[in-house]
Amino acid sequence: MASFRKLPSGNYRAEVARQGRRLSKVFPTKTAAKEWAAREEYMILQEAEAPVDHGDFGDLLKRYAEEVSIKKRGERWETIRIAALCKDDLAKVRLAVLKASDFAEWRERRLKQVAPGSVIREMQLMSSALNVARKEWGTISSNPLSDVRKPPKPQPRDRLVTANEEVRLLHAAGQDLTLATARAYHAFRFALETGMRAGEIVGLTWDRVDIDRKVARLTHTKNGRARDVPLSSEAVRLIEALPKMAPVFGLDGTQLDALWRKIRDRAKAEGLTFHDSRHTAITRLSKKLDVLALARMVGHSDLRMLQVYYNETAEELAKRLD
């Protein structure tokens, strides 16, 4: 509010107090004092309403990678995706003017480059970064991505590895387990027996394997919960065939990914991913274990997830009916 005082000299002192700021000035007339006070109040309010510049969207993503992604098990994927996103024009948009339409335009561009599933995962990553910025950093007041439609979810994969592909993959990888390529396919075969994820397999250490009890202890899993994985006789045989290395398979995630792609392409197993071993394993294990035991073994706390991975065909089910 502005206040005005007539001074003994006959002049008028105008005083403005707004948004924690105090201004004062003397004028020869009250009209001049009021005009000045009105202008100053308007300028103070405009400055208060003007958005603070917290940089562009790329700056937000980089901060998220440095402060949040680095603490996650999926750090590598997130940092790679963030680095790629920072090369897009979307990353150059200032946070002060970032809006839903910017993300909608990005979505349409991105759908021309990758599958809808990849776009959905990247939108989820960006939304997580925006939510942290809103809730913890205070750099944005709302998440504009929450108003943007995600592409329709693709149908769950139903790709199972065939017996013929297993033979071709073994031939492509070789059987000399002192070589990383052979161990990469050995890891795939182990996944077929256990339903373990690639990250769980490469992280397996000898002190977590109890051959006598036929159990592998996983301390770092996707859902963050440790679990014990029962090992079949074949799974035990696969582990015992390995040379003593640290970790058990002597591979990290990057090596396994690169070597698997090399083996798959050499074997001409078109479209087969390492994760398809999990689909195949769960489908095979469903013939041996009940639903609860199967969910416990593969680490699914939500039984509905088993429906995503269970891919037995109607023909195979028909054979089981007789």
Question: What's the CA angle centered on 134, arms 132 and 138, to 5 degrees?
Answer: 110
CA atoms within 13 A on the CB side of 10: 1
Q: What amino acid is encoded at 308 in this protein?
A: V
Find tokens 């074949």 and name the residue. 234
| Cβ–Cβ < 8 Å for 217, 231 | no
**DSSP letter (8 states) at residue 71:** G
Of 53, 55, 113, 105, the C-alpha closest to 84 is: 113
Neighbouring residues of 137: CB distance < 8 A, sequence distance ≥ 6: 63
The set of catalytic residues is: 197, 222, 300, 310
Contact 87/119 with Cβ under 8 angstroms? no
Tokens at residue 235, please? 């799974």
Given a contact cutoff of 8 angstroms between Cβ atoms, the answer to whether 166 and 206 are in contact is: no
Query: What are the DSSP calls for 120-149, one per residue?
Result: HHHHHHHHHHHHHIIIII-S-SS-GGGGSP
Which stretch of DSSP H or E encloses residue 181? helix 180-194
